[in-house]
Amino acid sequence: MLKGKTVLAGTCGGIALYKVPLLLGRLRDLGADVHVVMTEAATRFVSPLTFQTVTGNPVHTDLFEPPRLWNVEHIALAERADLVVVAPATANILGKAAAGVADDFLSTVLLAARGQVLYVPAMDAAMYAHPAVQRNIALLREFGAEVMEPDRGRLASGLVGPGRYPETDRILAACLRLLGPGDLAGRKVVVSAGPTREHLDPVRFLSNPSTGRMGFALAAEARRRSADVVLVSGPTELPPPPEVRVVRVTTAAEMREAVLGEAAGADVVIMAAAVADWRPRERASRKVKKTEGDMELRLVRTPDILAELGRDKGRRVLVGFAAETGDLVENARAKLQAKNLDLIAANPVGQAEDSGFAAVTNRVTLLARDGSVEELPLMAKDEVARTVLDRVVRLLEEA
């Protein structure tokens, strides 16, 4: 994903520094060329050798060290970096950067940087709340840098409050967005995910094995492309994608209400949820006791959310998913036409463990309104999400 991208990490002296190698390792795993600049204080917390081992590149600590190539190295690094991420960003470096002070390698790089700059503040709550720190953060945002809001939690002082170093997944998501194509910037994307549950009584329900993994991957990918993303999710144990607004629902009726409400003004709606097609006609208020003999269960249809979206489609791009046990392309094509979709992703279920519900990979065939059919190879679901969003971007450009 990040092949050909250069990330320069600026590390400062703070107790959260021990968490930074995990972030840099993940950036490197995604293909980025990662370099590290450490302040003198940072070297008191973590050895430069740690970062050299994680990144595979020399670590820079001294502004006056002899350059390895015949260039002004802090300028060369700043010009080459697609992203500079300062983590943890202390009150000291925020003040220096806001004031334009350049008295060490990192502060000089920040003045020379031409790519995106991301600051990840981490400090005690009282320091973070100080008017000078808040002024400096506001000024850096005015300069065009992105400054993350820290997490709230237990701090090194033992106190609880804002200032805690964010989780690695959250920082990584911000890095991926800043390094991403930005081709959905200014667009609202609504994604549905997971199963719905239709209760027979307080403890029993009709549902399916969907985990929501495909929909969550689509939401994360849309956000990586800088979209404003709303994820409407049925019951699932997956953690919410960072920087994505999540609306939790349980039943098909609740999902309908949430999706239709969010679809107003949306540029793209992707229905990846496995919505139950039927619900019990009656729901018992108490647990139905087991008795001798059989039990008859009368079912009624649930709302067809995708069809309703298709009837009032407007100019938005509408994408559906079709989980099929047979006649994959024929059934998907019929659904594409009947529900007025722009694109449908059809995948077989119940045939192989490497695709469909609960799998981390998927076998998908994409059918478009123009009649094209593209059979994708076995892919991780985040790769499927990238392919689907590539098609969505093209559809938006053609509209």
- The catalytic position among 57, 71, 92, 208 is 208
Split at pLDDT 50, 70, 90, the class of 70 is: very low
Which CATH class, in words, describes the domain spanning 6-179? alpha beta
188-398, what's its fold? Rossmann fold (3.40.50)
Q: What is the pLDDT of residue 76?
A: 78
Q: What is the pLDDT of residues 112-142, one digit of tens each?
A: 998 899 999 999 999 999 999 999 999 999 9
For 278-311, the pLDDT digits (tens) are 999 999 999 998 887 888 889 999 999 999 999 9
Cβ(57)–Cβ(36) under 8 Å? yes
Q: Check whether 192 has a pLDDT greater than 90.
A: yes
pTM attached to this predicted model: 0.90
Q: What is the pLDDT of residue 74?
A: 62
208 catalytic residue (yes or no):
yes
Strand ordering across the sheet containing 116-121: 59-60, 33-38, 6-11, 83-89, 116-121, 146-147
Q: What is the DSSP letter of 205?
A: E
pLDDT in tens, 351-397: 777 877 888 999 999 999 999 999 999 999 999 999 999 999 999 99
What would the pLDDT profile of 266-280 be if each residue is shown by its tens digit? 999 999 999 999 999
Average pLDDT, the chain: 93
Max CA distance (Å), the chain = 88
Segments making up each domain of the chain, as ranges: 6-179, 188-398
Among residues 242, 14, 239, the alpha carbon closest in space to that of 120 is found at 14
Say whether 188-398 and 6-179 share the same fold: yes
- CB of 51 closer than 8 Å to CB of 36: yes
3-state secondary structure of 222: helix
